[in-house]
Amino acid sequence: MAKADDISIVIAGEAGQGIQSIEAMITIFAKKASYNVFATKEYMSRVRGGCNSTEIRIARGEVRASVDRIDILIPLTAESIPHLRERITDKTIIIGEKKIVAWESMTDVPFSAIAADSGGILYANTVAVGTLSAILKLDRSGCETSLRSFFAKKSQAIQDANSVAFNKGYERGTELSSLIDIDISTDPSVPEKIMITGADAIALGSIAGGCNYVCAYPMSPGTTVLTAMADYSKKFDIIVEQVEDEIGVANMAIGAWYAGAKALVTTSGGGFALMSEAVSLSGSLETPFVVHIAQRPGPATGLPTRTEQGDLNLAINAGHGDFLKVVLAPGDLEEGFNLARTAFDIADQYQSPVFILTDQYYVDTYYTTEQFKVGDSIPKSNVITTAADYKRYALAQANGTATVIADGISPRGIPGKGDGIVCVDSDEHTEAGYITEEKAVREAMVAKRLAKIEAVKKDIIQPTLYGDKDYKTLIVAWGSTKMPIIEALEVWGNSGIALLHFPWVYPLPEGIGKYMEQAHTCIAVEGNATGQFADLVEFNTGKRFDRRILKSDGYQFSVEELASKIGGKK
């Protein structure tokens, strides 16, 4: 077998077998060898047992999407083959232990026996790493140096045992070179690139946006951002708080914003459902509120460790009453960084809730990408120093006579900064923040809050068109479906087909109907059962989709699947 410039490797086995350690080491080794890397995982909701798998793509060019194709499979349990049977072809090379996995065409590598000779069966995953490294023709000494760095916090004895296991595995992999001949060109730009997860992109973007307080109740897959922020808090001035429940989380975050912090909440759909009342509280208090929602399949507990785009309607309709809500949904790592940063700017400027929608696939996926551009700008802050006559919900400019401030945004003060009293209330309130049921004041406050919905339009991020500008077929999508669709278009050679991708999904940008008018066929692609975004687009534009490609089985779209469903692979 010879593969040029793109190889897909899948490792499968039980939770607890060190599959993610294999993934981490191989991707680190490959990047240091100047290869572009992509990795993602699917796993069952259990600590031990079951059958999980991780997919690694190693390539000369950029790879940013999952594929069905498996070039090399390393099954660590007998259940691995049935679990992945639909993706295995006669071209798949399977490397495993015949005493564990019964498969006729499999190449036998006794990982356990080699590990036992190296210091214990515990090192079987390191043997697999060595075998793969040799097959991929990665520099042996360079890999071993990286291996020792990987286990640097372990004892010297453990480092040495892993080194022995790696080298024995490397020797076995070298013996397989006659069977498996892989030649991938390197990319000289890779050393300058970064390799991070979607969770890291959201965390780093939040920090760039000025985030200095994070709170959450652990809920997969949103917890990945909490743990990432906890890690970054060692380098940045960030308070990280694990709260007793999601209701407490939301109210603590709103309280933090009221006190002058820039707070981030990270959760998943089930946790966000408990925050709905707090969303309304943010709308009434006109206090910023940034929530990251990593989606997973519902309803209820659903599939806790799988992926879906099923919470768009939940986010849009969260909270009772009428007020501005903004929903952002990144499609790649750079977009995640930039949108998380934008979320804090928008929330601070418009004193309203902003939701960042990702999903399990997005937060758990990582690949090599260009370094994010921060620029010279610093995080925005619209907090003022209050005067003694300060009114938190002022309807007119201090020196003006207008009945309502045009954009609905009153100057925002915080306690202790200035001489004013910063009085806020969840009941309808006067300009000074005190409870009222006065009809005229109520109408003015409603108009004030609604004015923000119109005002935010000038900051809405427009969708981006990818592919053939003279398209006849238009694909409309949002969030994490972006990169699989783009690679699927490359299968087609981008001929006559384009993708219109929306990073800002609510409120919808105006004028998007013109894109659909040009197309002969409009196709919506979404990772949910009904086409929630398609419904939103149709409602707002009056245009209808000819087809909807939907997926709700808990797995992400693959490149081949999309290429086929869009109209047939070339």
pLDDT of residue 433 exceeding 80: yes
In a shared domain, residues 254 and 317: yes
Residues 358 and 217 in one domain: yes
Q: Is the pTM of this model over 0.85?
A: yes
Overall average pLDDT of the 18-32 stretch: 96
Average pLDDT over residues 527-535: 98
Rounded to an integer, what distance in angstroms lies between the CA atom of residue 508 and that of residue 462?
9
257: in domain: yes
Residues 433 and 539 in one domain: no
pLDDT in tens, 176-202: 877 778 889 999 999 999 999 999 999
Tell whether 155 and 63 lie within a shared domain: yes
Residue where a domain stops, chosen among 191, 211, 243 = 191
Do 419 and 325 reside in the same domain of the chain? no
pLDDT of amino acid 244: 96
Cα dihedral 403/408/409/411 (nearest 10): 20
Which residue range(s) make up the domain with 426?
Answer: 383-459
* Inside any domain, residue 378: no
Q: pLDDT for 394-407, tens place per residue? A: 998 655 544 557 89
HEC string for 75-123 = ECCCCHHHHHHHHCCCCCEEEECCCCCCCCCCEECCHHHHHHHHCCHHH
Provide the CATH number for the domain around residue 78. 3.40.920.10
pLDDT tens profile 113-150: 999 999 899 999 999 999 999 999 999 999 999 999 99
Do 509 and 469 lie in a common domain?
yes
pLDDT of 103? 81
Q: Tell which of 369, 400, 432 closes a domain.
A: 369
Per residue in 254-282, pLDDT (tens digit) is 999 999 999 999 999 999 999 999 999 99
Task: Kindly give the interhelix angle for 276-285 and 246-259, rounded to the nearest 10 degrees.
Answer: 20
pLDDT at residue 321 tops 60 = yes
Average pLDDT for the chain: 94
For residues 305 and 121, what is the distance between their CA atoms, to the nearest angstrom?
28
Whether 332 is covered by a domain: the verdict is yes
Residue with the bigger pLDDT between 358 and 47: it is 358
Whole-angstrom Cα distance, residue 11 to residue 448? Answer: 56
**Nearest to residue 170, comparing CAs of 198, 209, 138?**
138
pLDDT for residue 5 = 86
569 pLDDT band, cuts 50/70/90, is very low
pLDDT at 102 over 90: no
Mean pLDDT in residue range 405-427: 95
Least confident of 8-12, 98-102, 168-172, 277-281: 98-102
d(CA 426, CA 424): 7
Mean pLDDT of 205-231: 97
Percent above pLDDT 70 for the chain: 97
